[in-house]
Structure 1
Amino acid sequence: MLNSPESRERRALWLLWITPALWSVNYIVARTAPGVVEPHMLALGRWALAGVILGFIARSELWRERRSSLRVAWQYLVLGALGMLICGAWVYLSAQTTTAMNIALIYAASPVLIALGAVLWLGERFSWRQGLGVLVAMAGVFHVVVKGQWAALGQVQWVAGDGWIVVAMIAWAGFSLLQKKWPSPLGATARLATICMGGVLVLLPFAAWEWQQAETPLWSMQATWLVVGAGLVPGVGAYWAYGFCQKVLGASRVAASLYLGPLYGGLTAWVVLGESLGWHHVMGAGLILPGIYLASRQAPASPEI
């Protein structure tokens, strides 16, 4: 059966490996956007497009559950602010002043917050094997983002963009945990469509302010393609897959998949942007991949830690 618990878990485990690749497209968008489209306008276009597509797909379910959704509309506004404003527009904003290395390094801490919050706040089980997987994967992440030169950590120069990413990292942990804390009768597609609606409402005044600024670039075909690409791939594709995995596997297990982000981002930069692929990526992968495997394993019936 395609909808049996075993089948859904198998699909979710496969999606754990695919979702970070979809999100890595956002690295290209973030690097290309400065001077082409403003951060909040890009985020608004991205999530408006995603919301329309997802809303059409889930239109019957959304109509059927409209009353229950309206009763908790404030939850969707909160999730929209966290996931689409802070983890969307502010990431694009940070890319104007900080480096991809800093973004990857700071964001790498979000799965740790998610896993810790899932244990302390949501009461999820977390075994010593999963803990070991987190440590191994984190070591791989650091190895990738510092290009294998651990001394580079002390040379990181903190700028305004780093602050935006710190806030986004914390917000992403909150976004992930609140989706589990606030159970919904909606399926993954319908729920994401509703969160998109909340995100669009939150983003509208910020995007309108950007549109009125004299230095805002004129809208171009390149800006349109950035919005479409961001809306379809790291928007609809990645967020739907992430939400489905969370619903099936739990927040702490899914959080481990985020460790693949820097690795996939490096591969995307190599293939699309022509950046060099070094041995530190290969060595980092040798730590990240088994770490993902350990951290995504189901915890035993009784908690070990």
Structure 2
Amino acid sequence: MPDSAQRHPRQATALLWLVPALWTVNYIVARKAPGVIGPYLLAFGRWGLAALLLLALTRSELWRQRADIAGVWWQYLILGTLGMVICGAWVYQGARSTGAMNIALIYSASPVLIGLGAVLWLGERLGARQGLGVVLAIAGVVHVVVKGRWGTLADVQFAAGDLWIVAATVSWAAYALLQKQWSSPLGATARLAAICTGGTLVLIPLTVWEMSQPDALPLTGYGLWLIVVAAIVPGLGAYWIYGWAQKILGASRVAVSLYLGPLYAGLAAWGVLGEPLGLHHAMGALMILPGVFLVTARPSPSVKPPLPVRS
């Protein structure tokens, strides 16, 4: 593990609380995009712009590590497809035909998938305290998205767009786990630059296809503004912090920050869109925030590591 990963656990934990707030901006962009800009063009513009900025910032490091990048180029294409195509364009597509409650419910499964994958695949440990935190966080998420009326869970009906969101949820779990599984000599910024480049390359033919359709939407000034906002705030900001923190804290502990999404989304809806806050937001916060703390808190130093297995 790099020295920076050993020196900054507190900073990583603190910044995790910011990631869902940055991603909330993407939800607002997704709500504004229908009828303005197509999902693949929006994703291509978002990640293409992010890639250009990151390449400019990390060009020296990328050039020094060019041999390593060339040896595992396929990893960056896969990560780019998972994180920028499926978790980008497909989310914008799905948001056109499914409700906010359905999206929040489906996305709430993402940290669970990441946590289980980290335990079963990456060998990370999830103790009783972390398990309790996961349960609290899930309960808080559900409480928020159903507005405190748990009986409405039986009335949830899946729309066609839910399939796009399900795919994005599974894709995000795979994206997070593969980043941890595939070690890289690149720093967090340079690695994100390589991943963004891979995702942008995959998005090129898809965007060309979308723009060739008879009902394709032309790029307007407002659409360009949505691209810039999505590229800088939920793109560069959220993805960089997430990848950096994951190197330090582990996949399962970082994933629990996603439980804050519905809570932050409610605050954004109140502050930006003028939607009222309710008691269910406060009650959800009382479950989500302690849950996040339990999962992300550092293990007690008194806990002894397991004895090595003799061969």
TM-score by length of 2: 0.95
CA RMSD of aligned residues (A): 1.2
Give per-residue Cα distances to partners, 1:40-98, cap 9 Å, x unaligned. 11000000111111111111111110110111000000001100111110000001000
TM-score by length of 1: 0.96
1:125–1:302 contact (8 Å) kept in structure 2? no
1:134–1:291 contact (8 Å) kept in structure 2? yes
| Corresponding residue pairs, total | 301
Q: Please name the residue that 1:240 is paired with.
A: 240
How far has the Cα of 1:302 moved from its partner?
3.8
Q: Please name the residue that 2:103 is paired with.
A: 103
Q: Write the distance in 2 (CA, Å) between the matches of 1:209 and 1:270.
A: 37
Q: Write the distance in 2 (CA, Å) between the matches of 1:208 and 1:274.
A: 37
How far has the Cα of 1:213 moved from its partner?
1.2
Gaps spanning 5+ residues in structure 2: where?
307-311
* Structure 1 counterpart of 2:165, one-letter code: I
Aligned residue runs from structure 1 range 145-294, under 5 A: 145-294=145-294
Aligned residue runs from structure 1 range 65-104, under 5 A: 65-104=65-104
Q: Please name the residue that 2:63 is paired with.
A: 63
Structure 1 runs (4+) greater than 6 angstroms displaced: none
Q: Please name the residue that 1:114 is paired with.
A: 114
Gaps spanning 5+ residues in structure 1: where?
none
Q: Please name the residue that 2:29 is paired with.
A: 29
How far has the Cα of 1:298 moved from its partner?
2.9
* Structure 2 counterpart of 1:189, one-letter code: T
Aligned residue runs from structure 1 range 117-132, under 5 A: 117-132=117-132
* Structure 2 counterpart of 1:104, one-letter code: A
How far has the Cα of 1:301 moved from its partner?
4.5
How far has the Cα of 1:7 moved from its partner?
4.0
Q: Write the distance in 1 (CA, Å) between the matches of 2:247 and 2:15.
A: 12
2:139–2:287 contact (8 Å) kept in structure 1? yes
CA pair 117-102 structure 1, distance change in 2 beyond 3 A: same
What secondary structure does 2:17 align onto?
helix
Q: Please name the residue that 2:18 is paired with.
A: 18
Say which is worse superposed, 51-60 or 293-302, in terms of deviation: 293-302
Q: Please name the residue that 2:298 is paired with.
A: 298
* Structure 2 counterpart of 1:32, one-letter code: K
Q: Write the distance in 1 (CA, Å) between the matches of 2:239 and 2:175.
A: 11
Identity value in percent: 62
1:144–1:281 contact (8 Å) kept in structure 2? yes
Give per-residue Cα distances to partners, 1:95-148, cap 9 Å, x unaligned. 100011111110000000000100000001111100100000100000001111
